[in-house]
Structure 1
């Protein structure tokens, strides 16, 4: 019996891998499968796997990483994976958050918010989605439709938001105003009205990769609104195929796109003006100019592309450079930038994304020497700065 118990996980692992490989090779829709471990039960479809792990997506769009050596049973539940019906998603959210919240759906979202406020938030999220899609369509890239409705949860106050952060494994702090989590596929924020009654004692951004904007001298309501746009951009980008929800995404790519869409002018003028100045993120530009003139090392773009280190050592400088580089690329090489995003998102998400591979992908996409591109990039920023000064 001890021998059988030792062999059983190995045979289950082999059966699981054989089944997953067969599912991957078939053109037909994936099956709905169940994997059990001693701790939990996973029901959904496998979206990526190797000999060690399977990433499972459940019927609401949430992701879980399953260690195959821990699987104790495996079976097919249904011949075809199907999403949960909208009424069941709403009921799950209602059960999770309780009667003080209302749950509404829009074309692309399910909004969970304090009663009487969900519709207004839904409008903001839908406007962002339309601006995002239109922006890329004008530049020759049709983003794919999200597979699932995207969930946004708005809490009535900061305290309840922080409680939810802890459940989500996100470190809460006064500088954290909201975040998008690629595994739950939810954006979480707290209510704008509540923000106006609070003092923001921490004016530094957190180091969390998918979290927030700090107040940076703005009042809390304005900072929280910017956070909502920033995190909603993350959510749309991860759900429309521009980023992958598992595996490594260069952080400058993820944050660069989100900071680009912080600009109200860019979202409201998605293609009409040929003047780049009309689409800048003014706060990020001003910060980057100060950084580049006082602290930025010469010829540092190559390291920035290869590594996320600057985000850990100097977060605000990294965000500013992510914005500046992204804005330069989308304004001067939009087709290549779109292809670059596509190439990154189509990588094997379970393979390490080395510094050399990051650099190679960048050079291949933009067909240039990085030092040459850096010269052009900094000249572009200098020209924007000169135009901004002249305008003022």
Structure 2
């Protein structure tokens, strides 16, 4: 779990995948299978098979972890090929899941589940966020694929209802306005709070969802958090996803992140900023440190914003490189640093100086 620097208590990007493993997967199960989870029969395709765990992609895009050693576990191979649920099939499934007090609003790319009578405000926000993501990335040479699944966003009537859903899904987070769950491939939020803050959260989490559904990130490998969370921070400002102000770089800057950076790393070429860049390139520990999590998000934003705006070729290259890594393999510290220097073309300390000067120019 991770949180935005200035809204540490309002959002989270959540991945419930099992820990990454190194070369321990064995292809024991393959092809289309039928399996039982929570008393419901489902179909999917195994992504990896271990002695004590099989990770399955369901037809609705969920990632399921099943234990073949448990006596209640049931699965069998089926004839045929894996096919994701169609939008109408998934829409009917969502209606059955959430009941008569909710409606499902469809857009070109989304199925938005919301309380009855909310109109099209949320659907427009999610659709605009995704279209802005695709446009911004494409203009910078990033390969953006068409996703295999309709993206699902759940808007609950209030915070309590959202947390009831978290509890049902065994999601252990607190004080958040919304999350993107890698396992369910859903954004979940609510409209019972301060709308401005929630909308910024939605843009952040929708960027995660867009990135993982278009191949910009892989849902199955160990992508450095400075990249995934830097992307989330990148799309929080409204100007990044709207055409009216998208040409003005200063308006695309994340003001909250800028303020954190000014406070934590004042002046140009601050050595502590350089060390923070090195720390993020090497590992994700800063995101788990309550004393430095705000700095981690802000520095990650600065790194990705600099690359996107000043070195778009390297921006596209680092996203392509990390997305194409082998699935379920831990990204070791030395490998992370070596890949960074090869793809970006400089060491993290030189890179930090360029980012620092770029921030000053804003």
Give the TM-score band, short-chain normalised. 0.7 to 0.9
Alignment match of 2:256 (pick from 283, 299, 302): 283
The verdict on how the C-alpha distance between 1:270 and 1:32 changes in structure 2, with shifts beyond 3 A counting, is: farther
Q: Per-residue displacement from partner, 1:89-141 (whole Å, max 9, x unpaired)?
A: 22221222110100122111111101122522111111111111111111122
8 Å CA contact retained: 2:221, 2:323: no
Q: Per-residue displacement from partner, 1:154-193 (whole Å, max 9, x unpaired)?
A: 01111111111112222343x31000001001110111xx
Q: Per-residue displacement from partner, 1:68-94 (whole Å, max 9, x unpaired)?
A: 555866533231111223333222212
Partner of 1:115: 116
The verdict on how the C-alpha distance between 1:336 and 1:83 changes in structure 2, with shifts beyond 3 A counting, is: same
Q: Choose between structure 1 and 2: higher helix proportion.
A: 1
Partner of 2:155: 154
Query: How many angstroms apart in 2 are the aligned matches of 1:39 and 1:296?
Result: 56
The secondary structure found in structure 2 opposite 1:184 is coil
Partner of 1:46: 46
TM-score, normalised with respect to structure 2: 0.84
Query: How many angstroms apart in 1 are the aligned matches of 2:182 and 2:274?
Result: 33
The secondary structure found in structure 1 opposite 2:241 is helix
8 Å CA contact retained: 2:128, 2:242: no
Aligned residues: 331
The verdict on how the C-alpha distance between 1:272 and 1:121 changes in structure 2, with shifts beyond 3 A counting, is: closer
Partner of 2:296: 318
8 Å CA contact retained: 2:45, 2:56: yes
Query: How does 1:97-108 map onto structure 2 within 5 Å?
Result: 97-108=98-109
Partner of 2:234: 260
The secondary structure found in structure 2 opposite 1:96 is helix
The secondary structure found in structure 2 opposite 1:299 is helix
Deviation, structure 1 residue 55:
2.0
The secondary structure found in structure 1 opposite 2:265 is helix
8 Å CA contact retained: 1:255, 1:322: yes
The secondary structure found in structure 1 opposite 2:46 is strand
Say whether 1:307 aligns with 2:283.
yes
Deviation, structure 1 residue 54:
3.2
8 Å CA contact retained: 2:55, 2:65: yes
Say whether 1:335 aligns with 2:308.
no
Partner of 2:171: 170
Deviation, structure 1 residue 146:
0.8
The verdict on how the C-alpha distance between 1:74 and 1:100 changes in structure 2, with shifts beyond 3 A counting, is: closer
Query: How does 1:336-351 map onto structure 2 within 5 Å?
Result: 336-351=314-329
TM-score, normalised with respect to structure 1: 0.78
Partner of 1:354: 332
Deviation, structure 1 residue 293:
2.1
Output the aligned Cα RMSD.
2.6
Q: Per-residue displacement from partner, 1:7-58 (whole Å, max 9, x unpaired)?
A: xxxxxxxxx93553xxxxxxxxxx4222569988652012344566432111
Query: How many angstroms apart in 2 are the aligned matches of 1:160 and 1:109?
Result: 21
Partner of 1:132: 133
Deviation, structure 1 residue 357:
1.7
Query: How many angstroms apart in 2 are the aligned matches of 1:52 and 1:352?
Result: 19
